[in-house]
Amino acid sequence: MAGPARTLFEKVWDDHVVAQEPGSPAVLYIDLHLVHEVTSPQAFSGLAARGLKVRRPEKTVATMDHSIPTIPGGLAVVDDQARAQLKMLESNCASNGVTLHGIGAARQGIVHVMGPELGLTQPGFTIVCGDSHTSTHGAFGALAFGIGTSEVEHVLATQCLLARKPRTFEVRVDGQLPPGVTAKDIILAFIARVGVGGATGFVLAYTGEAITALDIEGRMTVCNMSIEAGARAGMIAPDDTTFSYLAGREHAPAGKEWDKAVARWRTLPSDASAVWDRSMTLDAARLEPMITYGTNPGMGAGVNDPVPDPADFSDANERAALEKALKYMDIQPGKPLAGRAVDVVFLGSCTNSRISDLRAAASIFDGRKVAPGVRAMVVPGSQAVKRQAEAEGLDKVFKAAGAEWREPGCSMCIAMNGDQLSPGQLAVSTSNRNFEGRQGKGGRTVLASPLTAAAAAVTGKVTDPRTLLAGGGK
C-alpha cells in the first residue's frame, strides 16, 4: 500500500480534495469554518441574496472578538456601528443555525483561542476563517489558513473552497532554547531572516527539537505568525503533546472514537523521506529575546543587537523603506533598542493571550510594579483563559503591579474597539503586527514575547527579560 513519501501537509491536502478539473483549482473540503463579526456580514448577505443557507452549520462556529469592548458592559458600551455589526452576526447565526459564542458567553474568546480550547481544532482537519491568523490552528497538524469574505461565502454555501496547492517550506529549529527565550522569539527570528514576504506561496512546516519541545500554546504562537512571512499556513506534526491537550475537550472525540482518532492522527506526521520544496534551519541555542524596530514584522532583531543602519543597505528600495520605518518609529539606527522608554505595554492577541503567556508575564510582574507613566494592559484571549487566570490568582498579580485586567477580545492588537495608542506613543506588544497605525493612528509598536513585554512594563523601557528572571533585578 505504501505510496510515495508525503509531508504532513500533503496528507491533509490529499485527504480533502473532493474534485479537481484539469487546469482548475482543487475543490477542497473544509472541516471547520470559524466566523467572526468583521469579515462575515457581506458573506451572509451574499448567501441570502442567492437564496442559500449555510450548508453545514454544525461545522461552522462563530464568536465575537474584533470589535467588542474589553471593559464590562457588553453591547451597551460599543459604538453604534460596531453594535449593528455584532447584532448582524447574531441574526445571521440564528437564521442559519450556527452556534455563536457572543459577548459574555462562557466560551467566548478570540477565534483562534476559542477553537482549540473547545477541541474544535483537530489534527488532520482543514480549517478556515476570514482572518489571516487562522494559521494558528496548524499547531495541531491541521491545514488552517485565512480567507477573504468572498471565500467565506463560498464555504458557508458549499463547505468547500477553490484552492491551488501551495509549495512546502520546512523550517527546522534544532537544539534547545536558552532560558528566557520563547516560542515568540523563534517566530520573530524566522520572519526577520526570511522577510515579510519571503514565504509567500508556501505552507510552512515547523520541525526540529526546539519545536517538538514546545507546549501546544507555544506551537500556536509560532504557527500564528506564519502569515507575517507571507505563508498562509504553518503546520506542526501532531504528537503526544497535541493529544494530551485535546483529550477530554468539549468537541474532541471521546471513548472508542478517541482511540480511533489518535490512531489516525499518528499516521499524519511527514514520512521520513518526504521532500520539501524549500528548507531553512535555525539554531535555537543561538536565539535571543527578539524585538521589532520597524513597521513590519520582518524588521526584527535581538533585544541587545544594534538596530540596522539604512546606510548599510545597497538596495535603494530597502534603504528607503528602512529610513521611512525608523523615522515613523523615531528610532536611531546603529544601537540596540534596549533602554528605549515605552508608554504602553499590551499583553494579549491571538498570538500571546493564552494561560501560559499570562503565567510567563505574571512571573515578571510578581512582586514588582508597573513603572511610573507606563500603561500596562492584560487582555486574556478568552473567557476560559480569564477564569483560569483568576483561579490561579494571576489577575491579582497583574492588578497589584498596577496593570489593567480586561475582558477577552482582540483589543489593542487591531484597535477597532477603542483600545488604542495615541499618536506618537510607543508600545511593547505581544501581538503580531507592527504596521503603521495598527494599534492606533500614529502609534508605534514593538513586537515581543510576553516575558519581554512584561519586562518593559516594570522597567519602563525596552528590556532584556533575562535580567529579571530568577529573582534578578527585583
Partner 1 sequence: MTYEAPRFTTLTARTVALPRNDVDTDQIIPARFLKVTDKLGLGQKLFCDWRYLENGSDNPDFPLNRPDAQGAQVLLAGVNFGCGSSREHAPWALVGWGLRAVVAISFADIFKGNALKNGLLPVAIEPAEHAALMAARGKDSGLEVTIDLDKQTIRWNEQSASFPVDGFSKKCLLQGVDELGYLLNFTKQVEAYEQRRR
159 binds partner 1 (CB under 8 A): yes
97 binds partner 1 (CB under 8 A): no
Region 172-211 residues binding partner 1, contact defined as CB under 8 A: 196-197, 200-201
State the minimum distance, in angstroms, from the CB of residue 353 to partner 1: 18
- Stretch touching partner 1 by CB under 8 A, among 95-103, 156-164, 211-219, 400-408: 156-164
State the minimum distance, in angstroms, from the CB of residue 317 to partner 1: 6
82 binds partner 1 (CB under 8 A): yes
Query: For partner 1, which is the closer residue by CB, 41 or 402?
Result: 41
In Å, what is the CA distance from 39 to each residue of 62, 67, 131, 273? 11, 11, 8, 40
In Å, what is the CA distance from 341 to each residue of 12, 50, 99, 416, 445? 47, 55, 45, 25, 12
Interface residue with partner 1 among 65, 131, 357, 464 (CB under 8 A) is 131
Q: Which amino acid is at 86?
A: L
Q: Return the DSSP state at 11.
A: H
- Stretch touching partner 1 by CB under 8 A, among 103-111, 159-167, 278-286, 377-385: 159-167
Query: Distance between CA atoms of 177 and 468, rounded to whole angstroms?
Result: 17
147 binds partner 1 (CB under 8 A): yes
Query: Distance between CA atoms of 144 and 440, rounded to whole angstroms?
Result: 28
Per-residue b or e along 258-284, where b marks 16 or more CB atoms closer than 10 Å to that residue's CB: eeebbeebeebbbbeebebeeebebeb
∠ Cα 398 402 405 (to 5°): 45
Interface residue with partner 1 among 5, 94, 106, 162 (CB under 8 A) is 162
Helix (H) or strand (E) segment spanning residue 170: strand 167-174
Region 326-365 residues binding partner 1, contact defined as CB under 8 A: none
Number of residues that bind partner 1 (CB under 8 A): 64
Site string for partner 1, 302-321 (x = CB under 8 A): ---------------xx--x
Query: Distance between CA atoms of 110 and 382, rounded to whole angstroms?
Result: 6
Task: Cell 500614529: give the residue.
Answer: 442
Q: Are 373 and 404 in contact (CB under 8 A)?
A: no
Interface residue with partner 1 among 437, 460, 461, 469 (CB under 8 A) is 437
Residues that bind partner 1 (CB under 8 A): 18-19, 23-25, 27, 29, 38-39, 41-42, 45-46, 49-51, 66-67, 79, 81-82, 84-85, 88, 130-132, 146-151, 153-154, 157-160, 162, 164, 196-197, 200-201, 227-228, 230, 232, 296, 298, 317-318, 321, 324, 414-416, 433, 435-438, 441
